[in-house]
Structure formats: structure tokens, C-alpha cells
Amino acid sequence: MQALVLLIRAICRFNIILGHLFSWFSLGIVLVCFTVVVLRYVFSMGFIWLQDLYVWLNALMFMGIAGFALFNNSHVRVDIFYRPASPKRKALVDMFGSLFFIGPFVYILSTWSWAYVARSWRFMEGSPNFGGMPGLYIIKSFILFFTLVVALQALAMFLRGILVLLDKEKLLPEPYRYKEES
């Protein structure tokens, strides 16, 4: 049981760290976008690579925080059924969702995107825009990173569900437990 708890905590902690790290990209997006607007409308000049930069930062942020969003329950869910449910029912829903929705989604996305990412690396693909940034292949690689962090968090959700069903949820620290609605 302790190994299970350590694995859940490690996965969740990893996604929490990534979530806090990649959330800072939103500040970068705002600053770069602001710079693009000021350069365009005040100085009548622009740089395609700067426009690429804020779009790419947005893509990196979205894909990097996906596991953190799943950890925080910041995704779409029918809360009218889930919120008032008991911890055991929540665990069953999370286990079912992890196994039958997230699992196949991650598998299909990683399988189908592998060749797409590999092709991009083979050509060292850059921006399709003239004067854009090099290194689009790195951004495309984050599709696989996205599948990894989501798959890991789905695994943690599934394992947490096992602990709850075995009445061992107390082994987890408070932030990793289901919260009872009052």
C-alpha cells in the first residue's frame, strides 16, 4: 500500500510542479502579445517571430498544465451527479473515466501523433511563416508530453480510486483525498 501511496503522491507532485511552472507562461504570453500590439500600432512595425512566440507559448502552456488541470478537477464534468456523490462513488467514476475515456484517448493521440512528431524532427521543422521562429518540432513534441502527463494523472486517479474502495484513502495526504460536499 505504501508503494501505491508513494506513486500517487509522486505523480501528483510532478503535475503540480509542472502546473505551477507552465502557468507562468501566461505572463509571457501577455507580455509578448502586448509587445506585438505596441510595436504594430505605436511604431508601425512587427516581427513574425514574436507573433509565433506567443502562439507557441500558449501551446506549451496548454499541453504542460493538462495533467495539473486533471489533478485539480479543472476539466469538464457533469458536476450535478459527481459533486454530491460519496467518495466511493467518485472513485468509481474516476476509475471508469480513467480506464475507458482517458486511456483510449491518450493511446490514440500518442499513437497517431508519433509519426507527425517524428516527421517534424526529421525535417527540423520551423515556422511556416516567412521570418518565423525555428524549432516548431519542439512544440510538436509537446503533444507526446501532453499524453504523458495526462496518462500519468489518470493512473494516479485510478490508483487513488483503488485506495478509496479499500478504505485506505487516509494513507494519502489531505490534498490528494476526495472532499465531501456539505
Q: What is the pLDDT of residues 154-166, one digit of tens each?
A: 999 999 999 999 9
15 falls within a domain: yes
181 falls within a domain: no
Distance CA 156, CA 161 (A): 8
Distance CA 60, CA 23 (A): 10
Q: How many CA atoms lie within 13 A of 97 on its CB side?
A: 19
Q: Say if pTM beats, i.e. exceeds, 0.85.
A: yes
Residue numbers of the domain that contains 70: 2-176
Cβ(77)–Cβ(69) under 8 Å?
A: no
pLDDT tens digits, one per residue of 86-126: 999 999 999 999 999 999 999 999 999 999 999 999 999 99
182 falls within a domain: no
**Buried-state track 89-100, b at ≥16 Cβ within 10 A, e below 16:** ebbebbbebbee
134 falls within a domain: yes
Number of domains in the chain: 1
130 falls within a domain: yes
The DSSP letter of residue 141 is H
150 grid coordinates: 495526462
Average pLDDT over residues 70-97: 86
